[in-house]
Structure 1
Amino acid sequence: MSDLLRIEDLSVTYRTEEGPLPAVRDVTLAVDRGEVVGVAGESGCGKSTLASTILRLQPASATVTGRVLVDGEDVVTMRWGDLRALRWAGASIVFQGALHSLNAVRRVGQQIAEPIQLHEPGVGDAEVERRVGDLLEQVGLPAARAKAYPHQLSGGQRQRVMIAMALACRPDLVVADEPTTALDVMVQAQVLDVLSALVRELGVGMLLISHDLSVLAETSDRIAVMYGGRVVEQGPAAQLFTDPVHPYTAALGASFPRVGDPAARYAPAGLAGDPPDPRYLPPGCSFHPRCPIGTDECTAAEPVLETKRPGRDAACIRVEVS
């Protein structure tokens, strides 16, 4: 069976006043039906650009090369009419910050109904209303909340409305771009449980983007870690979280405090510095300036993403194949 989503050698470069900004560089990954693939990394590593490019939502200043295949059709070269039909019905996206994505002066039920009415014009009003109620209940909200305005809902409830909107036209693929960033820990767990349950029940494929590696380890089947616009490690979620291969992945995992551990409280782990500006990437490995095991050899050439262990790929010359 072919992958539901297959990204091949994708690069996205923005035109800026300071010069070209390569936000995504040669990314290849895949998502199958019924699978959650997580994408992790700090802010500025290219995650959101990757998410927007899957549905060709990037601005006009972006130059895109490579392929983004959704059910075998290349989104990058797709005609506008076909692209419009794909959005919502074939693939949909859940953005971070639902309050900014929802229309403040329309009831949430009307906003969930809109994609159904646009993509399925033959569906009657009564059927649309029934489906809106079913979608709200599917994400853990009473159908009566369809009459609420966004400001009358909590942050977690608004995010559930966004998920209901994304599922309105029964897409095969859902892209969730940091859907829990603005939520507290308890509500975040609830929303993630909803997303995971929907993937299992509906058999959709999901690309889940987050800066929080522990969130992805809990909800994803596989994880790809991005740094400097590239994938630097990918593999099964549980293995990648508990036994990272790339030093950047290890630093991400170590940055979370361990409850009850005095050493973690008084000397919290972390990673000094910030991700590089994509316009001024350092020579060789882009992680080298922050890497705890880097050597001068790391500046000679950018490392290739290659298999280091069975099912585990990493881009690091300091990691031996085993």
Structure 2
Amino acid sequence: MSPTGTPLLAFEDVSVTYRTSGGEVPAVRDVDLTVASGEVVGVAGESGCGKSTLASTILRLQPPTAKVTGRVIFEGEDVQTMKWGALRALRWAGASMVFQGALHSLNPVQRVGAQIAEPIELHQPSLTEARVRSMVGDLLEQVGLPAARARAYPHQLSGGQRQRVMIAMALACGPRLIVADEPTTALDVMVQAQVLGVLEGLVRELDVGLLMISHDLSVLAELCDRIAVMYAGRVIEHGPADKVFSDPLHPYAAALSASFPRIGDPAARYAPAGLAGDPPDPAELPAGCSFHPRCPKRFDQCDTVEPELRWPAETRSREAACLLVGPS
């Protein structure tokens, strides 16, 4: 599940379980995935499929009730075994995060310039106030905002402008990896396109890695080099973004792709596709393939056999966890 060369980030057999009063609940199961410098990798799936939990392991942000197994390797070092000093240096300067919902992530009573300046001041305490202020202005201009907006409070900015502020904060300390968790949620399509354009331009210009989390396969297909589709905590399909979106191998990936109507497509207009039901409760996963209760292509063996990721015989660039996908 990796391109050629040494990856910037690698998940190696990563699983995350939460301790609850009813026992351990698996949120992420046996994930292998990589991100290289200058590469955009997408993680897709419905709410509750484990996308954000997986992302939280990169900066060790999971709560005390979480247990992580496997390895999360960033630039050759396992994040889960880092000492506190190394982890503190990793956050912001090595990898940073653009959280979902900028209005809830920004401090409403503090000017946005001060919030962008905070990580710079923490990681580079020797800088003068004037230099930090200049860097904040440069960061805002880098994401398409006037430097003067540094004096604004979050409520004085539009949704797209607040999201750009979040991206500027993520870039403040020159990270090599950016994790964007649903960065375009609740934005209109025009602003969404602008924000995605900013992210893509920064990745290519600065040669940083980007892990993009979204439920919207069409967004990921536009921005990403590769996409991993998650369901019930597992990666159930992985491959080039255009192929996963236009010609998915797994029935769940096909349902995700079909759930977004295509302009000019009569089939989508007159018979919009969807998927009944919800992802399974992680505490009560069904036997066999986790997707089989909702799968339109299920057969008897799906009730008892949980398929592993397999390469189709005709290609080595894609893989899917489905019994309908024959091994090479």
Q: Normalization by structure 1: what TM-score?
A: 0.98
How many residue pairs get matched? 322
Match of 1:312 in 2: 318
1:74-125 Cα distance to aligned partner (Å, 9 max, x none): 1111111110110000000000000111011110000000000000111111
Q: 2:190 aligns with which of 181, 186, 190?
A: 186
Match of 1:173 in 2: 177
Please say which of residues 285-294 and 264-273 is displaced more in the overlay. 264-273
- Once the two structures are TM-superposed, the CA of residue 240 in structure 1 deviates from its matched residue by 1.1
Q: 2:111 aligns with which of 99, 104, 107?
A: 107
1:54 alignment partner, SS class: coil
1:146 maps to 2:150: yes
1:155 maps to 2:159: yes
Report if aligned partners of 1:175, 1:208 keep a CA contact under 8 Å in 2.
yes
The 5-angstrom pairing of residues 268-283 of structure 1 reads 268-283=272-287
1:242-266 Cα distance to aligned partner (Å, 9 max, x none): 1111111111111111224454334
Q: Normalization by structure 2: what TM-score?
A: 0.96
**Partner Cα distance (1:202, 1:210) in 2:** 22
Amino acid at match of 1:311: S
Percent of residue pairs identical:
75
Match of 1:74 in 2: 78
> What RMSD over aligned residues (CA atoms) do the two structures have, in Å?
1.0
Match of 1:119 in 2: 123
Match of 1:6 in 2: 10
**Partner Cα distance (1:258, 1:321) in 2:** 32
Match of 2:236 in 1: 232
Amino acid at match of 2:26: P
Match of 2:96 in 1: 92
**Partner Cα distance (1:50, 1:183) in 2:** 24
1:288 alignment partner, SS class: coil
Q: Which runs of 4+ in 1 moved over 6 A?
A: none
1:4-42 Cα distance to aligned partner (Å, 9 max, x none): 000100000011223221000000100000000000001
Report if aligned partners of 1:134, 1:143 keep a CA contact under 8 Å in 2.
yes
- Once the two structures are TM-superposed, the CA of residue 213 in structure 1 deviates from its matched residue by 0.2
Amino acid at match of 1:79: K
Amino acid at match of 1:218: E
Structure 1 residue runs of 5 or longer lacking an equivalent are: none
Please say which of residues 297-306 and 187-196 is displaced more in the overlay. 297-306
2:19 alignment partner, SS class: strand
**Partner Cα distance (1:263, 1:3) in 2:** 40
1:20 alignment partner, SS class: strand
The 5-angstrom pairing of residues 199-210 of structure 1 reads 199-210=203-214
Report if aligned partners of 2:103, 2:154 keep a CA contact under 8 Å in 1.
yes
Report if aligned partners of 1:96, 1:182 keep a CA contact under 8 Å in 2.
no
**Partner Cα distance (1:288, 1:180) in 2:** 31
Report if aligned partners of 1:112, 1:164 keep a CA contact under 8 Å in 2.
yes
1:49-73 Cα distance to aligned partner (Å, 9 max, x none): 0111111000000010010011111
